[in-house]
Amino acid sequence: MIELSGLTKRYGEKVAVNNLTFTVRPGIVTGFLGPNGAGKSTTMRMMLGLDRPTAGDVRIDGQHYDRLKDPLKYIGALLDAKAMHGGRSAFNHLLCLAQSNGIPKSRVHEVLDTVGLTSVARKKAKGFSLGMGQRLGIAGALLGDPRILMFDEPVNGLDPEGIHWIRNLMKSLAAQGRTVFVSSHLMSEMALTADHLVVIGQGRLLADTSMADFIAQNSRSFVRIRTPQRERLLDVLRGAGFLVVETGSGVLEVDDGKSEHIGELAAQHQIVLHELSPQRASLEEAFMQLTAESVEYHAHAGADAGAPADPPPAGPPQPWGDDWTRSR
Ligand SMILES: Nc1ncnc2c1ncn2[C@@H]1O[C@H](COP(=O)(O)OP(=O)(O)OP(=O)(O)O)[C@@H](O)[C@H]1O
């Protein structure tokens, strides 16, 4: 387990990490999310003893990182894929790491094979593409066969096959009972990979919950209905106690309704339906709703200097509801 307790980091006036307390548990993939500058990398650096906390504490299996003997055997991390000696070959880079952590040379061959770099193992790392560098960084994290793995933006620069590979790798590491902690800005990827989420904004903890609960708590779910007998259906649904929202485009939206129940009611009253579909917001929408207040760095809608900002598009109602506006 990784246990954070009141973890805080200040850089002068700036509070990068503010009193974070949470536990990362084994057997699942835990996603670590937050807008740019939220403090994710600083938190991960403190977990690995690369930055000293201003206050609070972080423990790896009950111990501080700098007390761990042969730390790569406890925790493997990919923080910055470019943080390696570019003049060394991939093999020699891993061999140096292995020798300083009491890991046998045979393990270097194994991890090169796992990440698919065996054929370029003797090539210098400085000639590697971004994706190859990521794979080499992941090989370094796996080297000590650790029970805990931490990845900062691991899919950065990977092609679709590589993204698929790392998703399955993280899931299989968790299924083996390991602790997997991963940050990413790619929400669609995180939604497919993580079981649990820790979300921070401006250094503070915003959520520590399962993926399903996070989406349910931070977004609106409703049933979308289209019918040529709109007035009749409205009477039936309201008569049954449903809260129905009429949208401008003739679509009805029923909050907290079950599509089975609504379909059966419509059938009883011989009302024709053209659409009956449950709608649930995506992780991206839920994330944007939760973190809207804590986004520090905003882009302006008119990217060209001097160009007036575009008005918000007058499209269909957004799945997160009309009363919520995106921070622009
Ligand atoms: N060495 C440093 N000196 C001063 N300020 C720092 C330092 N490192 C980080 N910060 C500041 O701390 C805050 C958190 O930065 P951090 O890199 O941890 O965020 P992040 O969530 O990883 O962001 P991103 O998603 O953009 O990578 C930022 O405001 C950053 O400018």
Return the residue whose CA atom lies nearest to atom 14 of ligand 1. 39
Instruction: List phi, psi (to 5°) of 218.
Output: -115, 20
Question: Looking at 24-38, 44-58, 65-79, which range is the least confident one?
Answer: 65-79
Whether the predicted pLDDT of 304 surpasses 80: no
Return the residue whose CA atom lies nearest to atom 1 of ligand 1. 11
**pLDDT the model gives residue 298:** 61
Taking the C-alpha atoms of residue 216 and residue 247, their distance in angstroms, rounded to an integer, is: 22
Mean pLDDT to the nearest integer, 222-239: 93
More confident residue, 305 or 173: 173
Mean pLDDT to the nearest integer, 286-291: 80
Q: Which two tokens stand for residue 307?
A: 């160009």
Whether the predicted pLDDT of 237 surpasses 60: yes
- pLDDT band with cut points at 50, 70 and 90 for residue 79: confident
User: Distance from the CA of 297 to the center of ligand 1, in angstroms?
Assistant: 12
- pLDDT band with cut points at 50, 70 and 90 for residue 210: very high
**pLDDT the model gives residue 125:** 74
**pLDDT the model gives residue 101:** 85
- pLDDT band with cut points at 50, 70 and 90 for residue 280: confident
Whether the predicted pLDDT of 301 surpasses 60: no
- DSSP one-letter string for 29-87: EEEEE--TTSSHHHHHHHHTTSS--SEEEEEETTB-GGG-SSGGGTEEEES-TT-S-TT
**pLDDT the model gives residue 240:** 92
201 lines ligand 1 (CB under 6 A): no
Ligand 1: nearest atom to the Cα of 200 = 21
Which one-letter DSSP state was computed for residue 326? -
**pLDDT the model gives residue 81:** 63
Whether the predicted pLDDT of 186 surpasses 50: yes
More confident residue, 91 or 285: 91
Domains delineated in the chain: 2-216 (3.40.50.300), 220-280 (3.30.70)
Mean pLDDT to the nearest integer, 230-243: 92
Return the residue whose CA atom lies nearest to atom 3 of ligand 1. 11
111 lines ligand 1 (CB under 6 A): no
User: Distance from the CA of 41 to the center of ligand 1, in angstroms?
Assistant: 7
Mean pLDDT to the nearest integer, 259-284: 91
Ligand 1: nearest atom to the Cα of 42 = 18
Is the whole model's pTM more than 0.80, yes or no?
no
What's the whole-number average pLDDT of the chain?
Answer: 84
**Identity (one letter) of the amino acid at 82?**
K
Q: What is the pLDDT of residues 58-78, one digit of tens each?
A: 999 888 888 888 888 889 998
Check if the interface score ipTM surpasses 0.90. Answer: yes
Pocket test of ligand 1: the residue of 7, 9, 13, 14 to mutate, having most ligand atoms within 8 Å of its CB, is 14
Mean pLDDT to the nearest integer, 151-162: 86
**pLDDT the model gives residue 319:** 40
% residues pLDDT > 90 (the chain): 47
Ligand 1: nearest atom to the Cα of 296 = 29
**pLDDT the model gives residue 161:** 86
What residue has token string 């790896």? 60
- pLDDT band with cut points at 50, 70 and 90 for residue 121: confident
13 lines ligand 1 (CB under 6 A): no
- pLDDT band with cut points at 50, 70 and 90 for residue 322: very low
Whether the predicted pLDDT of 296 surpasses 70: no
User: How far apart, in Å, are the Cα atoms of 174 and each of 24, 26, 71, 109?
Assistant: 12, 7, 19, 23
79 lines ligand 1 (CB under 6 A): no
Residues 288 and 326: beta-carbon distance below 8 Å:
yes
What size, in residues, is the chain?
Answer: 328
Candidates 153, 174, 207, 282; CA nearest to 22 is 207
40 lines ligand 1 (CB under 6 A): yes
**pLDDT the model gives residue 312:** 41
What is the β-pairing status of strands 29-33 and 55-60? unpaired
